[in-house]
Structure 1
Amino acid sequence: MKFVYFIRHARSHANQQNLLIGRQGAHELNDIGLRQAVCLGERLKDQGVRVLRTSPLRRAVQTAGILADTAGCAVPTVDEDLIERDFGPFDGMDRPTLLRARSELDLDNQDPTGYFPPGLEGVEPIREVQERMTRAWHTAVASVPENESVGLVSHAGTLKALLYAALGIDESHPRAFKIFQASYVKCKVPEEGRLTVHEIWVNPVQ
């Protein structure tokens, strides 16, 4: 039996400012994020995770490096498929600006950072996110022997999209699933191509 840990990166300065951050900018972890990453690394060490793959974005690479050092993993492998969703013109908006922009487009604000309808110009379609994230975990699982685990360091938007697909939840359903910073969803791979949620762990450093 194999397990895959879907990990959200630790808190960055932009997260602290309550910005919607996608692919723009080399956002660094703040002091809380650094502590979160060490705490998560200790947890992963206890869980026996020794292989890590990461999004190429700075906040994820920084998180993965701390996890590797703390948990005793090899140098993390960068996987472009794990990059955050492209939020297009919404990238970098603070919450008030985002709410106004969505209202002007007559979009629901129950989950303003999570739901973007198909066909919205500049925003990566949810199906494309789900396809590349599925490819990412398939590649990761294939890279480790039976009875070993792998951790994938990615982002809120991509992890939510993947888990919505795996659990059969429609994207328009508000706040059905949340992964906190430097926290994970541990999934079993009971058979090739399938995931089942085994554990949701929330980092106590918040």
Structure 2
Amino acid sequence: MAALVASGELGLRNRYFAVRHGQAESNVQNIFVSNPAIGADAYGLTDLGMEQAKQAGEKLKTLLSPNCAEVVMISSCFKRAKHTAEIIHGLLGCAEPLKIDDSLNERDFGPYDLKDTSTIPFETWDDNVTDAVTNQHGIESVMNVLRRTSKLVKQLEDTYTNKNIILVSHGAPLQILLTTFTHIDPGQYTSVRHFDNAEIRELTDPNVLDTCTK
């Protein structure tokens, strides 16, 4: 299955960084919070999550200096992602205001929302490989996540040049988007190493710069 965006083929005009949100209350409770009607206003960062976001901001400040003002930051609408982005945005002193875009929202886990993450059977994950297109078991398909996230990258490419673009999102959407930059079949997205909380990775082709904030 072909990737929708390939940086080597397109010759990206901007530099992209993916950042997962800091530790959230949902992480501590080990539950899925994937419905924006719930997650936009609840299940925010823990104290540790806020500290992780600060550490990520400081790392990005060092990494991007002296061009911190040339940053465009876009976040998922979920509280845990927005708060992470707000902390990083403030530390970087970005010239442009923080943007919220639902394209970066968590993958919709449907009937598993607010349930323990261990409740999803292993065969459900295996179905990502055999059928990444269909919304199986009520869970948003891998390809739908890839379409919305890669479409955002295309829009950003059409809008900006020579910017440092930071995408603050969630583990699954970022893993899926990363397949685009590393030429991995989207259905195999779980083969991409999972993002830790507040981890930063530069989206490059074919290598990924891992500036993990642990």
TM bin, normalised by shorter chain, reads 0.7 to 0.9
| Alpha carbons 2:22, 2:80 under 8 Å: kept | yes
Please state if 1:6 is matched with 2:18. yes
Q: Taking structure 1 as reference, are residues 121 and 76 closer, same or farther at Cα in structure 2, changes over 3 Å only?
A: same
The 5-angstrom pairing of residues 1-206 of structure 1 reads 2-23=14-35, 24-25=38-39, 26-48=42-64, 49=68, 50-73=71-94, 74-96=96-118, 98-99=119-120, 102=121, 107=123, 118-146=134-162, 148-170=163-185, 171-172=187-188, 174-188=190-204, 195-204=205-214
Deviations 1:125-152, CA, capped at 9 Å, x for gaps:
1111101110112223433332x31101
Task: Find the residue that maps to 2:54 and give its secondary structure.
Answer: helix
| Alpha carbons 2:17, 2:202 under 8 Å: kept | yes
Task: Find the residue that maps to 1:153 and give its secondary structure.
Answer: strand
Q: CA deviation at 1:172?
A: 4.5
As a proportion of its length, which structure holds more helix? Answer: 2
Alignment RMSD? 2.5
The residue type paired with residue 44 of structure 1 is L
Alpha-carbon separation, structure 2, partners of 1:149 and 1:143 = 13
Give TM-score scaled by structure 1 length: 0.80
| Alpha carbons 2:124, 2:137 under 8 Å: kept | no
The residue type paired with residue 199 of structure 1 is L
Task: Find the residue that maps to 1:56 and give its secondary structure.
Answer: coil
Deviations 1:1-54, CA, capped at 9 Å, x for gaps:
631001111110111122223124321100000000111111111222422011
Alpha-carbon separation, structure 2, partners of 1:132 and 1:66 = 25
| Alpha carbons 1:54, 1:76 under 8 Å: kept | yes
Alpha-carbon separation, structure 1, partners of 2:165 and 2:208 = 14
Aligned residues: 189
Where does structure 1 differ by over 6 angstroms across 4 or more consecutive aligned residues? none
Give TM-score scaled by structure 2 length: 0.78
| Alpha carbons 1:185, 1:197 under 8 Å: kept | no
Alpha-carbon separation, structure 2, partners of 1:69 and 1:172 = 36
Q: CA deviation at 1:123?
A: 1.1
